[in-house]
Amino acid sequence: MNDVLQKTPVLIVGGGLVGLSAALFLQHHGIGFILIEKNHGVSALPRARGIHLRTMELFRQIGLEQAVAEVAASAWQQGSFGGARRGRTLVEAQPLISVAAMQKKLAVVGGFAVAVRRLPTDAG
């Protein structure tokens, strides 16, 4: 087995908003990790559409609230949930964040750089 994998305390599977957030928190606390992601870029259909208020409170505790808020502000877009319209009133009432843009920017927010490793996968 690869020596790096044997000595890494945490394996994060997935480079979405949750995986990248977990990586930022672990890095802040000095805990080693490997983050793996099967896609070569951000997912076209991400499972998360934003960051919850409690997560922002945690970002505040590690000094990243302002940086994350600035990234989020630059990623807002209106009109879709995963590319499909779901109702004019809802969209007008709550602009939606571009998760793809947020993922790209969150990987380098606040001076942290999260390295995402892509490992070969089995075909079956």
Cβ atoms of 106 and 69 within 8 Å: the answer is no
Domain ranges, residue 98: 3-117
CA–CA dist 44, 41 (Å, integer):
9
- Count of domains in the chain? 1
pLDDT (average), residues 73-97: 47
- Residue 52's pLDDT is 79
**99 close to 48: Cβ distance less than 8 angstroms:** yes
Question: In which band, very low, low, confident or very high, does the pLDDT at 79 lie, cut at 50, 70 and 90?
Answer: very low
Residue 123 in any domain: the answer is no
> Which tops the pLDDT comparison, 122 or 82?
122
Which residue, among 54, 58, 67, has the nearest Cα to 108 in the 3D structure? 67
Closest CA to 22 of 65, 48, 58: 58
107 within domain boundaries? yes
In a domain, 122, yes or no: no
Q: What is the pLDDT of residue 61?
A: 92
Pairing status of strand 10-13 against strand 33-36: parallel
Does pTM surpass 0.85? no
pLDDT of residue 86: 46
